[in-house]
């Protein structure tokens, strides 16, 4: 078994200093009539027990839970409900900067063990590039974006200046979905469509919808020519990449049929799709061990990272999820530590923690 310094790149926090800073979208925490601690973001509400008590807002409590889980270094990102790409431009720009400042402050509790993955105000691409650089200057590593944003899929050339800058600065992208229906009118609290409301109540958006969104996001980038235009761009996808590892052959089969005269003409990939797998990294939040092992077989040990959804509703012990596969020591070390250290530029932190042992 590897004694590697472990790095978890998938977990969320909600700094309480952000409450009330997104205009009509809040956010706010209140007690519902039934006593549940509830988080409201626009017209979207979820039960958020532990938010006020610090389970996902207090860095000291996060560090203690990291110790229990065997996590040495943790990359925090804002909860996906708080990406808020639908805010009016000026407020959206301000919100993204405040989120990144709050995450930087969170990580000050232990700069050797905590780092943050910045959000961007994708309402404004030019400002997003500036915020990418500013966030890096205060400790950010990589960038964190939704599986689609401002009504556009990720292959849309609207985003290409961000990809160009990310490639130029060797900045990895972490893609994470956000809940369906958040971009509605914040004045319609409690008036959501009944079908959508049922899905929320059953957590369908999170359980199933996220996997669907991830699959669409990566398929869009693969088929839309993103990795042809930016061959050195590095993209990490949460929850094991949705269906991508398990239905990749379907994409290849479809691509082979997209010739002249076919209905589908939007694909722009110039190479066999497996050529682009070197650009993709998948986290290990795959709950079935056989499926998790297949993920490693599909992507290779060089392109899998620890993920746990640390602090999330379905959070797991990401370290244990890797160790229980019984991989050879070199492969295990890559997934537990080396891949993330190289991807997010954490080699010096790893050395420092190794020296403390």
Q: Determine contact, residues 76/105, Cβ cutoff 8 Å.
A: no
Q: Cα separation of 302 and 100, whole Å?
A: 29
pLDDT at 145: 98
- Name which of 351, 356, 348 is nearest 139 in CA terms: 348
* Adjacent-strand bridge partners of 149: 152
Q: Cα separation of 168 and 232, whole Å?
A: 9
Q: Determine contact, residues 274/227, Cβ cutoff 8 Å.
A: no
Q: Given CA atoms 75, 79, 80, 82 in this order, what sign does their dihedral have?
A: negative
Q: Give every CB contact of residue 343 below 8 A, 6+ residues apart in sequence.
A: 9, 142, 172, 234, 236, 281, 305
Calculate the CA 219 to chain-centre distance: 16
pLDDT at 323: 97
Below-70 pLDDT ranges, the chain: 50-53, 181-203, 258-266
Question: What are the residue ranges of helices labelled H in 181-283?
Answer: 194-201, 204, 210-223, 226-229, 244-256
pLDDT at 186: 46
Calculate the CA 284 to chain-centre distance: 12
Q: Determine contact, residues 327/125, Cβ cutoff 8 Å.
A: no
Q: Phi and psi at residue 75, in whole multiples of 5°?
A: -95, 110
- Name which of 225, 238, 228 is nearest 174 in CA terms: 238
């Amino acid at each position: 078994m590897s004694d590697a310094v472990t790095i978890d790149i998938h977990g969320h926090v909600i700094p309480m200093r952000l409450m009330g800073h997104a205009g009509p979208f809040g956010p706010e925490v209140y007690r519902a009539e039934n006593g549940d601690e509830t988080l409201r973001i626009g017209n979207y509400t979820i039960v958020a027990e532990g938010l006020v008590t610090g389970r996902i807002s207090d860095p000291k409590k996060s560090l203690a839970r990291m110790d229990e889980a065997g996590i040495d270094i943790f990359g925090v990102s804002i909860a996906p409900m708080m990406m808020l790409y639908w805010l009016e431009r000026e407020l959206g720009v301000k919100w993204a900067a405040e989120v990144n400042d709050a995450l930087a402050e969170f990580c000050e509790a232990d700069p050797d063990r905590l780092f943050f993955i910045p959000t961007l105000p994708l309402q404004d691409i030019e400002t997003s590039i500036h915020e990418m650089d500013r966030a890096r200057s205060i400790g950010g590593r990589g960038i964190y974006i939704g599986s689609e944003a401002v009504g556009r899929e990720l292959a849309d050339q609207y985003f290409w200046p961000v990809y160009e800058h990310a490639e130029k600065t060797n900045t990895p992208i972490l893609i994470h979905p956000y809940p369906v229906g958040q971009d509605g009118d914040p004045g319609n609290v409690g008036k959501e469509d009944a079908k959508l409301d049922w899905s929320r109540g059953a957590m369908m958006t999170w359980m199933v919808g996220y996997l669907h969104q991830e699959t669409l996001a990566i398929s869009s980038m693969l088929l839309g020519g993103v990795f042809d235009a930016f061959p050195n761009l590095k993209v990490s996808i949460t929850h094991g990449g949705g269906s991508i590892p398990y239905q990749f052959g379907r994409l290849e089969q479809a691509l082979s049929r997209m010739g002249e005269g076919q209905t589908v003409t939007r694909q722009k990939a110039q190479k066999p799709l497996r050529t682009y797998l070197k650009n993709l990294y998948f986290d290990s939040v795959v709950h079935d061990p056989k499926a998790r092992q297949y993920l490693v077989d599909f992507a290779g040990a060089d392109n899998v990272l620890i993920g746990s959804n640390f602090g999330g509703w379905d959070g797991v012990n990401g370290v244990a999820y890797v160790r229980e596969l019984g991989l050879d020591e070199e492969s295990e070390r890559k997934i537990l530590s080396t891949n993330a250290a190289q991807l997010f530029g954490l080699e010096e932190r790893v050395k420092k923690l190794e020296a403390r042992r």
